[in-house]
Amino acid sequence: MKKEELPQDDSALTSMTRELMYVKDKDGKYTTDLSKGWEVKQAALDNAWDDIHERTEEARTAVKNGEKSAIYYFMEMKIMDLSVLSGYTGFWKFTIKRHLKPSVFKNLSDEKLSIYAKVFEITVQELKNFKG
């Protein structure tokens, strides 16, 4: 695309970042320039955030209904999966799966809960007392 055609649409990330893109200058040579955003990309990002909010609400409901532990909610809220959470906590994925069960979660030591709390950037009490 030509430098003058570079999209400069406002997006959710406009105030935080700009995207480096390759464009052709007036001589037809490739160069780089910054773009504030692109309407199509903004729509895709908005759609992705809607999905994240929906998953977080589903997780909140699962905790509220006693189907999952609070770890599940905070994992979704922080946009993590089992592999990512395992990497941050040092717990095996199968161990985290067990910790997602309310019956197992209620018996976890404060030491284990503090590892989760640190990753989720909350206190152990917030993790223990979260009811959805």
Model confidence pLDDT, tens digit, residues 86-119: 999 999 999 999 999 999 999 999 999 999 999 9
Residue that has been written with the tokens 């990002």 in this structure = 45
The pLDDT value given to residue 39: 77
Supply the mean pLDDT for the chain.
90
Of 26 and 86, the one with more pLDDT: 86
Query: Which domains can be identified in the chain, with CATH numbers?
Result: 61-129 (1.10.260.40)
Instruction: State yes or no: pLDDT of 1 exceeds 80.
Output: no
The half-sphere exposure of 71 on its side-chain side, counting CA atoms within 13 A, is 28
Q: What is the pLDDT of residue 44?
A: 81
- The C-alpha atoms of residue 82 and residue 75 are separated, in whole angstroms, by 8
Q: Is the pLDDT of residue 38 over 90?
A: no
